[in-house]
Structure 1
């Protein structure tokens, strides 16, 4: 999280655009040089410049090819259980995708997708209680995930850039798969009915997607709408955080493209 005042950041950008070095600006404003470097990179990326052109492998900066299907899945994972951090003393930001130990297949798929999107980077693993983070370090994370910003995602507006929406439109199932693998599940519900005087139990599968962000839930439901999948809000304790897909034909369609976590 960026804890520095907006005025400090704006002053830093002004000095950098005037030709000051990262080290000089860091000393003048008493800000870590790694933070200054991140601000400079994000400013140049926003203006369409190519940071580190001589060594760039970024699809957004220099037109390098990108596996769009893999990116659509990774974008869903990032919006659900991903974060980008710029640690003090580090010059380059880190993307972390949190994976539950209960679903090793999802973890393997996420790691494979990270390698497809970042073929020139190494994928790290940080173990935690009951889960682990898959991480990749790249100076181009802000280019590829412009949704990054201060604070938790559900406390601010999340919208896709035009080029991201084009990728999601081209690979909607991969995007939905990433979202469900992060913040969704396939479960079996049950109910009872009285038939011919006898109460019988019925079981049926359904998919849930749960996220506190209104914007991220809307990205999920908008994509389902384009795919012709019927969904409903499932409000619990007054919170509209759950999106349910329960119609038999829609569950069958999600089973073809998503399936249970594994």
Structure 2
């Protein structure tokens, strides 16, 4: 017999920047017993679980949140609170008085919980074994699923925690690693010299997969530069190291970007490190 409290679908509210965490979370939900279908899980960042082709994103989200048998699962992180769409979802869930649970990414602390989320309501970190056990029991109860053999669940949980720790390590290292553009100098009509400061506050040596630069001058003109393999293949940023290097980049002199008018406050540096 169907319970009045039965939940049929989970709405995963998250930042697209946390998609690797969310992929693992969806897999865990599948392991617990929730079917691999958009009818049971809504997650906008994953193919097959997102917004149907041609649908208006705002109307679709509104329709989903107005359903009485849906539970909202907040994946809270620094990225989440920096995302206006995420905060809109949080507010919409609060307005519609939806049942919700919140899971914190490993590098996000409880004291940073704010907004419509009740900080006194039980939350847990994704890599917390006891929290995952309680979460699993709740999902099984709300979805009226068959209980999982404890040995199988133990292996599923272990695999999930190991994956999450790997993702969080890379994230933490990125959070504690800085690449700053200190000076831009035009060498000739084809080359720019960038004076870069690299900062590593971790206890690990770091190697970079890629480093991309977006430079902007005071007129708003932009130019994209990519660090070449000749720099990256032989470059290690050692533990606790803070150093300045000068790298030379080829650039299109026909670009409207003016190196002498570079606005360092608007420059962006994106990178990824090896785990």
Larger Cα Rg: Structure 1 or Structure 2?
2
Higher helix share: 1
